Amino acid sequence: MAARRNLPKPTDAASSPVSMADLARELGVSMTTISRALSDHHSIGPATKQAVLKLAKKLNYQPNHLAAALRKGKSKLLGVIVPYIEGRFFASVVHGIETAASKAGYSVIICQSSEDVAQERKNVETLLSAQVAGILVSVSRNTLDFRHFEKVRKHGVPLVFFDRILEGDNVNAVVLNDRGGANQATRHLLEQGCRRVAHLAGPLHLNIYKNRRQGYLDALESFGIAPDESLIMDCDMTLESGAACMAQLLELPNPPDAVFSAGDSAILGALQLLKSRGIRVPQDVALAGFSNEALTSVAEPMLTSVDQRCEEMGQAAFRLFKDLVDAEGTAFSQRQVVLQPQLFVRASSLRTGPA
Amino acid sequence: MAARRNLPKPTDAASSPVSMADLARELGVSMTTISRALSDHHSIGPATKQAVLKLAKKLNYQPNHLAAALRKGKSKLLGVIVPYIEGRFFASVVHGIETAASKAGYSVIICQSSEDVAQERKNVETLLSAQVAGILVSVSRNTLDFRHFEKVRKHGVPLVFFDRILEGDNVNAVVLNDRGGANQATRHLLEQGCRRVAHLAGPLHLNIYKNRRQGYLDALESFGIAPDESLIMDCDMTLESGAACMAQLLELPNPPDAVFSAGDSAILGALQLLKSRGIRVPQDVALAGFSNEALTSVAEPMLTSVDQRCEEMGQAAFRLFKDLVDAEGTAFSQRQVVLQPQLFVRASSLRTGPA
DNA sequence: TTGTAAGCGTTATCAG
DNA sequence: CTGATAACGCTTACAA
């Protein structure tokens, strides 16, 4: 018994949805009254209001947001454009955005640019056509200009950038203090007694990698160490690339005693290469990465890394959008929110003995 | 020079968006003509059509999908409900869905149920109110009935389940052959010569875990091995839980020589516990997990695992939805798509010596 | 090939 | 406190 629990009753093919007009007819009042009852307007008798709400529940009334949005000229849809959604970082940021947004009654439409400006342009068009209330975007790797975002502003749609932004443009943005985080990580390595700290740098046209590199340089300077160009490697931040860079670093006449990478995959590649050569981590070479990916706690030794506060970033981005909406008309120009990263120190950088 | 690249020209506050009516007025034709030109209708002179398109481009006309959807009664919005979006699995599935959807001209609205039926119910309401063309859902952990999905069908909105579905209900769904995958993994362990294979089982009210357990039992049976209840552990699939289960298994008078876990985090926990006790993997205990998470390639030894074809699942789910839309009216009842998982054999289960 | 007009489900304005 | 009516931007019979 109890074999088939909640099977659909056979007798219901898509019955036409019930509208406000239906409620009005049924109750013998005007649509205006229905609208007011449903939207909690003040000019409405408590009795009628209750009656409306009751009937709405009974008939399973489902408001049509499209119609409302069309009429009001503003939807409760929020557009989000990310390079891709796989991988911890963007998934977490989107998680943060969605959570904050839905609390405020917004639904989020997600678009992937696949690291391609052309697609990003299409995404913008799509979102504008969907009449979104705002757009949150982290630009693709090869986005070099702002033309397609001009259109967004022309339509009067609030625009917020997060994480990856275009340098030199004054826009609303939420970013991580990448420079500070990199500085912190590098200082930590220096404090462990390392003196030849190498850096795996990402593509420098992206603000995030440029800033991480700068933070690395800052730390060296504060320790009075002159930067050595041969210790700064161009790296595309993949596992393979990290290993290749590490191999190259080991070829140097005077190889590094520590490596700070602008990303975690690359530092893992470096770790694997070191282990394959029998070089001890952290005793011979100490390591630190950036992003605090899950893999940092799985690697052996566990990897020191800078956490990016992904979820906070999502929340902050939404809040900034909301501020823009609420400040409608109030002419305030640009807002930047800067989040403070947090260094997670793990075994890969902790030298047990003295410096 | 070239300091400020693409700064907004100071002279443009949200100019009101241009509509079809504007184009019509400007060109001195009717809105019908505009509509036809824009929607590539056949009854339209090539000359007028070109003129319209040119003007549209010039005036930066942006179609209003909301209005079109309202009129047509069908939007190009697709609703997706997942328990959460962080973590590899759902992020990848969503990636697959979004990629397929956007190719077909749909935008996807993402909702998280946070593993909570109440929230899931709200999500359904939200999506219906947004007039989505369809809903794709992977149910939350504590979803036990279908009432809130009845409403979806009543509205005539195509509904597709993926991965997590409710057993016993006949619905459109895309699932993994979890049973087959588990069978494959367990057989592999048996073929390596293991004879006491333990199983870390997930919450059994979820189809996926129930099926994985069954696949495990199938494999034992095909090897003529009677299942030993003391080797089957209830596990909530976390790292900690996996370690705890492993510890318990080691207490047995006759401990296992292999473990198949229904999830990767748990098997990693088991691995860490074994290593901490100096027990060799795979020589003393061979390990295999499920999901093929990124961490499986980072662990040492690397972990054997069953890949879930996340992205294919997303694509398949979208395709199933599309089929439903295209078959509008055609009364075909339920469709199930079953994807074949793939076993990735790695060091954690490969015994070098003979059995 | 083109135009007219009605209507999708709301909300807002103005009268009662 | 309530009601009639216009309007949001677009599609689509139907008519010319």
Q: What is the pLDDT of residues A336-346, one digit of tens each?
A: 999 999 999 99
Q: For A263-274, what is the mean pLDDT?
A: 98
d(CA A14, CA B155): 5
For strand C, which residues in window 62-81 of chain B come within 7 Å by CB? 67, 70-71, 73
Residue numbers in B near A146 (CB within 8 A): 5-6
- Which of A7, A14, A150 shows the shortest C-beta gap to B169? A7
Q: List, as ranges, residues 1-30 from B with C-beta within 8 Å of A.
A: 3-8, 12-15, 17
Cβ of A95 and B112 within 8 Å? yes
Shortest CA distance from B311: residue in chain A: A86
Cβ of A3 and B126 within 8 Å? no
Q: Tell me if chain A has a CB within 8 Å of the CB of B59.
A: no
Q: Which of B11, B18, B85 to mutate to test the interface with A (most CBs of A within 10 A)?
A: B85
Of A181, A172, A187, give the one whose Cα is nearest residue A209. Answer: A181
Sorted by sequence, the CB contacts under 8 Å of residue B168 that are 6+ apart come out as A3, A4, A5
Measured between CA atoms, how close is B223 to chain A, in angstroms? 32
Q: For A38-45, what is the mean pLDDT?
A: 88
Lowest mean pLDDT, pick from A63-77, A144-158, A289-303 = A144-158
User: Which CA-bearing residue is nearest the C1' of C2?
Assistant: B33
Cβ of B168 and A92 within 8 Å? no
- Which of B67, B131, B169 shows the shortest C-beta gap to A65? B131
Count residue pairs from A and B with Cβ separation < 8 A.
Answer: 169
What's residue A17's pLDDT?
84
Residue A50 has pLDDT above 60, yes or no: yes
Distance A72 CA to C11 C1' (A): 7
Q: List, as ranges, residues 165-194 from A with C-beta within 8 Å of B.
A: 168-170
User: Which CA-bearing residue is nearest the C1' of C5?
Assistant: B32
Is residue A89 a contact partner of residue A291, using CB atoms and an 8 Å limit? yes
Q: Tell me if chain B has a CB within 8 Å of the CB of A146.
A: yes
d(CA B336, CA B323): 12
Sorted by sequence, the CB contacts under 8 Å of residue B326 that are 6+ apart come out as none
Shortest CA distance from B295: residue in chain A: A295
DSSP assignment letter at A163: S
Residue A113 has pLDDT above 60, yes or no: yes
Q: Tell me if chain A has a CB within 8 Å of the CB of B75.
A: yes
Other C-beta atoms closer than 10 Å to the C-beta of B28 total 7
CA-angle at B311, arms to B305 and B312, nearest 5°:
95
Measured CA distances, B342 to B264, B274, B346 (Å): 15, 26, 13
Nearest nucleotide relative to B36: CA against C1': D11
- Which of A62, A95, A295 shows the shortest C-beta gap to B128? A62
Any strand C atom closer than 7 Å to B129 CB = no
What's residue A145's pLDDT?
84
What's residue B170's pLDDT?
78
Query: Looking at the whole model, is its pTM more than 0.75?
Result: yes
The phi and psi torsions of B266 (rounded to 5 degrees) equal: -65, -40
For β-strands A107-112 and B107-112, DSSP reports them as: antiparallel
The CATH number of the domain covering residues in B178-308+343-349: 3.40.50.2300
Query: Domain spanning A10-63: which superfamily?
Result: lambda repressor-like DNA-binding domains (1.10.260.40)
Residue numbers in A near B151 (CB within 8 A): 60, 62
Nearest nucleotide relative to B30: CA against C1': C3
Cβ of B109 and A108 within 8 Å? yes
The phi and psi torsions of A338 (rounded to 5 degrees) equal: -115, 125
Domain locations in chain B as residue ranges:
10-63, 74-175+310-338, 178-308+343-349
Average pLDDT over chain B, rounded to an integer: 92
What's residue A300's pLDDT?
94
pLDDT less than 70: residues of chain B: 1-15, 168-169, 329-333, 352-355
d(CA A169, CA A145): 10
Nearest nucleotide relative to B129: CA against C1': C9
DSSP assignment letter at A141: T
Residue numbers in B near A165 (CB within 8 A): none
Cβ of A95 and B102 within 8 Å? no
Residue numbers in A near B107 (CB within 8 A): 109, 111, 126-127, 130
Shortest CA distance from B60: residue in chain A: A151
Distance B32 CA to D15 C1' (A): 13
Residue numbers in A near B145 (CB within 8 A): 5-6
| Percent of chain A residues topping a pLDDT of 90 | 82
CATH class of the A74-175+310-338 domain in this structure: alpha beta
- Which of A87, A92, A98 shows the shortest C-beta gap to B112? A98
d(CA B235, CA B247): 12
Q: Which two tokens stand for residue B101?
A: 């959807």
Could you check whether B10-63 and B74-175+310-338 share the same CATH topology?
no
Tell me the three state secondary structure of residue B319: helix
Q: For A34-48, what is the mean pLDDT?
A: 90
d(CA A323, CA A321): 5
Residue numbers in B near A300 (CB within 8 A): 300
Distance A68 CA to C11 C1' (A): 7
Any strand C atom closer than 7 Å to B50 CB = no
What's residue B168's pLDDT?
67
d(CA A336, CA B166): 46
d(CA A83, CA B206): 33
What's residue A40's pLDDT?
86
Q: Tell me if chain A has a CB within 8 Å of the CB of B240.
A: no
d(CA A185, CA A168): 26
Residue A4 has pLDDT above 50, yes or no: no
